[in-house]
Amino acid sequence: MSQEDAPGTVRLAKLIAARGVASRREAEKAIEEGRVKVNGAIVRGPTAVDPVRDEIRVDGRRLPREPERVYYLAYKPRGCITTRDDPQGRPTIFDMLPEVPERVEPVGRLDFDTEGALLLTNDGELAHRLAHPSSEVPKRYRVKVFKRPSESNLEAIRTGKVFLEDGAIAPAKIRVVEETDSHNTWLEITVTEGRNRLVRRIFQQLHHPVSKLRRESFATLSIRGMERGQLRRLTNEEIRRIQDIAAGRKPAAAGRVRRKKGFALPKPKGRVQARKKLQRPWAKKKDA
């Protein structure tokens, strides 16, 4: 058994991220740069640690206790990025949203010119699962494109027959919402992939470039009723839904209470007795 498989241990970068010190990627970078010590010794590269027994310090500071898990939905405005820092000096989502007491990170990204639903949390494990391609998390967009796509193009999207430079797309749901006075078109499309700028690239490939793009929902979390730049906590029911989706449950059933196998409601006694009374006259005639 390798150290990383030992019971009670966890990957160091994952633990640092879970404690709210940094994102997992930032934690891995800190380890590579020699800024992390375990029991007084600098570590570099993947390491498994015991959160209870090992003393871990990042930049000389002891790792804080595990924080309360928090989950927020943000309505990201257009014209900002979703990372904390930008070498180009562009505004970030954290500059435009109200401050929260916990250190949270976005789950997935929205590009500079795209607005809409963005999940923020300090639950690193859930974020990792939702961002993994195997989760097939539904992401619903409202998109305005140049002119109206033909029915054959819409069917190509539905059947996954649009081919990009990094491969064919997965089948996606799509419907026409409305056509504008200038004969451009608003569409609603739901994708389950997390490829970079996927929606924009799909319509560019079909010669219908995107002029406006808004993510209406992520993993069933909707921005309906929210304003641009607004942030809200998820409800308990919403948290159950995304936890179910992260665990592999179908979005349509996520968050629902599951019945145990073999469970059945007792039959109403009144109906059974009434049925027996109706059967008695027939039974007597048969015996006669």
pLDDT at residue number 267: 56
What confidence tier does 84 reach under pLDDT thresholds 50, 70, 90? Answer: confident
pLDDT at 251 over 70: yes
CA dist list (Å): 69 to 93, 107, 127: 20, 14, 12
- Angle formed at CA 74 by CA 68 and CA 75, multiple of 5 degrees: 175
Please report the pLDDT score of residue 21 as a whole number: 87
pLDDT (tens digit, 9 = 90+) per residue, 46-82? 899 999 999 999 999 999 888 889 999 999 999 999 9
Of the candidate ranges 126-130, 141-145, 198-202, the one whose mean pLDDT is the lowest: 126-130
Residue 273 has pLDDT above 80, yes or no: no
Q: Is 163 helix (H, G, I), strand (E, B) or coil?
A: strand
Euclidean distance between CA atoms 8 and 107, whole angstroms: 27
Lookup: tokens for 3 = 């150290």
Separation in Å, CA 237 to CA 103, 116, 158, 276 = 23, 21, 30, 44
Model confidence over 193-238: pLDDT tens digits?
989 999 999 999 999 999 999 999 999 999 999 999 999 999 999 9
Give the separation between CA 188 and CA 222, rounded to whole angstroms.
14
Burial of 31 (0-12, 13-18, 19+ CB in 10 A): buried
Stronger pLDDT, 271 or 115, i.e. the higher one: 115
pLDDT at position 265, please? 56
Q: Using the structure block, give the residue that is written with the tokens 């193009």.
A: 153
**Where is pLDDT greater, at 198 or 133?**
198
| Structure confidence at residue 279 (pLDDT) | 47
Section 137-156 average pLDDT: 97
pLDDT band per the 50, 70, 90 thresholds, residue 282: very low
Measured between alpha carbons, how far is 220 from 222 in angstroms, rounded to an integer?
6
Nearest to 191 by CA among 144, 139, 133: 139
* Mean of the per-residue pLDDT values of the chain: 87
State the pLDDT at residue 95. Answer: 87
d(CA 115, CA 74): 10
Per-range mean pLDDT, top range of 31-40, 127-136, 249-258, 279-288: 31-40
Q: Is the pLDDT of residue 3 over 50?
A: no
Residues marked active site are found at: 111
The reported pLDDT for the residue numbered 274 is 43
Q: How far is CA 75 from CA 92, 193, 230, in A?
A: 13, 20, 5
Sorted by where each starts, the structural domains of the chain and their CATH numbers stand as 3-62 (3.10.290.10), 71-133+223-246 (3.30.70.580), 138-218 (3.30.70.1560)
